[in-house]
Amino acid sequence: MVIGILSPSTKKHDTMTKYELYRRAEVKEYWIVDPDSRTVEQCILKNKEYVVKKNDETAVIDVNVLKGCKIDMNLVFADMD
C-alpha cells in the first residue's frame, strides 16, 4: 500500500506518472491525499487496472490490503484546522 500527499508543484506527476508506475508494479492499493480539498482517492487494483473511489474528509475508509483496518479521515484532517 502506498499513500501519497499531493502538493501543488507535483500534482500532475503524483496523479498521472505514479499511477502508471504503480499499475506496472502491481501495487494493490494506493491513496492520493489532497490536503487542499480534504479528499482521498483510494485506488484499488482489479484486473490490472485501478478502480478509484473518491472520499471526503468525513469518510471512514476500509484499507483493503489490511483486513479489518479502517482510517477515519476526520482524524487525519483534524490537525489541519
Q: How many domains does the chain have?
A: 1
What residues contact residue 22 under an 8 Å CB cut-off, 6+ apart? Answer: 2, 30, 43, 50
Provide the 8-state DSSP code for 15.
Answer: I
Kind plus residue range of the DSSP H or E element containing 76: helix 73-78
Question: Long-range contact list for 14-23, CB < 8 A, 24+ apart?
Answer: 19/43, 19/50, 22/50, 23/48, 23/49, 23/50
Residue 81 — pLDDT band, cuts 50, 70, 90?
Answer: low
Residue 12 lies in domain: 2-78
Per-residue pLDDT tens over the stretch 4-42: 999 888 888 888 888 899 999 999 999 999 999 999 999
Per-residue pLDDT tens over the stretch 44-61: 999 999 999 999 999 999
Domain of 29: which CATH number?
3.90.1570.10
- Whether the pLDDT of residue 80 is over 80: the answer is no
**pTM for the full predicted model:** 0.86
